[in-house]
Amino acid sequence: MAKKTIKDVDLKDKKVLVRVDFNVPLKEGVITNDNRIVAALPTINYVIENGGKAILFSHLGRVKTEEDKAGKSLKPVAERLSELLGKPVTFVPETRGAALETAVNNMKDGDVLVFENTRFEDVDGKKESGNDAELGKYWASLGDVFVNDAFGTAHRAHASNVGIASTGIPTVAGFLMDKEIQFIGEAVESPKRPFVAILGGAKVSDKIGVIENLISKADKILIGGGMTYTFYKAQGHEIGNSLVEEDKVALAKELIEKAGDKLILPIDSVCSKEFSNDAETLITDGAAVPEGYMGLDIGPKSIELFTNELAGAKTVVWNGPMGVFEMSNFAKGTIGVCEAIANLNDATTIIGGGDSAAAAIQLGFADKFTHISTGGGASLELLEGKTLPGLAAINDK
């Protein structure tokens, strides 16, 4: 997937539109986690250092009504960005119009401007998320070059990614986007072997496409999390009150048959009668979960099995926790997998966003992975082998 990057275009004296992912958590107007702003700094600094005018824009939350706008302005983000860059950042509280155009035209080389939440355009009809052609054309008219650095939205065709790119403006990947393409795209298409995929999370339905795509590409697929019990049921095991997708049991059976010995399921579980960290726990002797209990994590024998299966792996892609990691009694499986991956030598290790990324960061393993994806849904679709509209819209090399 050879796409042009920010290094392939001349930025001097250019108005550089940069679609960033500033969808940060806000509480009463205060940013509670600025990771996404920090992650965008290399691209923003590159524009500034190479004499470009950086015009930044992003969505923030979901906005469907005027009431939804409350607490969703990018103003606090612009202020935090100014602190991180150590220079002024102009904030324009508009998504279009004379004030925005004047501010853009008054920019000097090296200046930085942030304009308002792109989703504010969804209040009067889904102009942003519906990829309104006129809106894409308008935003494209503000700049000379378009840098897409928002991998988290690459699986959606919006006016702020596909809409702008489809006008013919030179469109390239920022450093963050390029990193995602390199790591996740190349891991799936041309991995160093052995290639082991670890899939967790609650639902089989969320991971069907990924499992089907990886059966032909991975050497092993380790399954954990809540979806384990749908597979167990397909094998005829008792699952007690564990989470199960009844309508996916037949499909789970098909996947087991199709994958053969590539598909590795847990061999024990940590169970409880209640979905609570204070409830008494029980470790099963095998796959079967006793009546009245629910499986909430993989057990110690499964951790040992998975650790052995990971030994010697050269490429590991992990998407989805092994249990309810937010509760300490059911976090051991996720911690065990983190440790097993962290101890691999000379391996490319990738977390595909979402809950598994949150788990690795929360548990203190963030620096033990080669790459942690910034996009949950986008990384899943890339693992499925799907074409992501936001990626497809970037100019090929």
* Cβ burial 157-166 (10 Å sphere, 16+ → b, else e): bbbbbbbbbb
- Note if 193 is an active site residue: no
219 is in an annotated binding site: no
Return the closest-CA partner of residue 107 out of 52, 145, 57: 52
Query: Cβ contacts of residue 206 below 8 Å, gap of 6+?
Result: 227, 320, 380
Tokens of 361: 């960061």
Return the closest-CA partner of residue 170 out of 394, 391, 397: 394
C-alpha 212/C-alpha 252 separation (Å) is 11
Catalytic residue among 51, 110, 185, 377: 377
156 is in an annotated binding site: yes
Identify the three-state secondary structure at position 18: strand
CB 393 within 8 A of CB 170: no
Catalytic residue among 69, 126, 137, 203: 203
353 is in an annotated binding site: yes
C-alpha 269/C-alpha 252 separation (Å) is 19
Return the closest-CA partner of residue 335 out of 350, 324, 348: 324
- Note if 354 is an active site residue: yes
158 is in an annotated binding site: no
60 is in an annotated binding site: yes
C-alpha 266/C-alpha 59 separation (Å) is 39
61 is in an annotated binding site: yes
**Paired sense of beta strands 269-272 and 281-283, if any:** antiparallel
- Note if 225 is an active site residue: no
Sheet with strand 269-272: strands edge to edge? 281-283, 269-272, 294-298
Catalytic residue among 19, 36, 127, 179: 36
- Compute CA 201 distance to the chain's CA centroid, rounded to the nearest angstrom: 14
59 is in an annotated binding site: yes
237 is in an annotated binding site: no
- Note if 333 is an active site residue: no
CB 203 within 8 A of CB 209: no
207 is in an annotated binding site: yes
Tokens of 365: 């393993």
385 is in an annotated binding site: no
Catalytic residue among 354, 375, 376, 390: 354
Distances from the Cα of 297 to the Cαs of 332, 355, 358, 366, 389, in angstroms?
Answer: 8, 15, 17, 21, 36
22 is in an annotated binding site: yes
36 is in an annotated binding site: yes
62 is in an annotated binding site: yes
CB 163 within 8 A of CB 131: yes
Binding residues for ATP: 207, 295, 326, 353-356
Binding residues: 21-23, 36, 59-62, 119, 156, 207, 295, 326, 353-356
Catalytic residues: 36, 203, 354, 377
Binding residues for substrate: 21-23, 36, 59-62, 119, 156
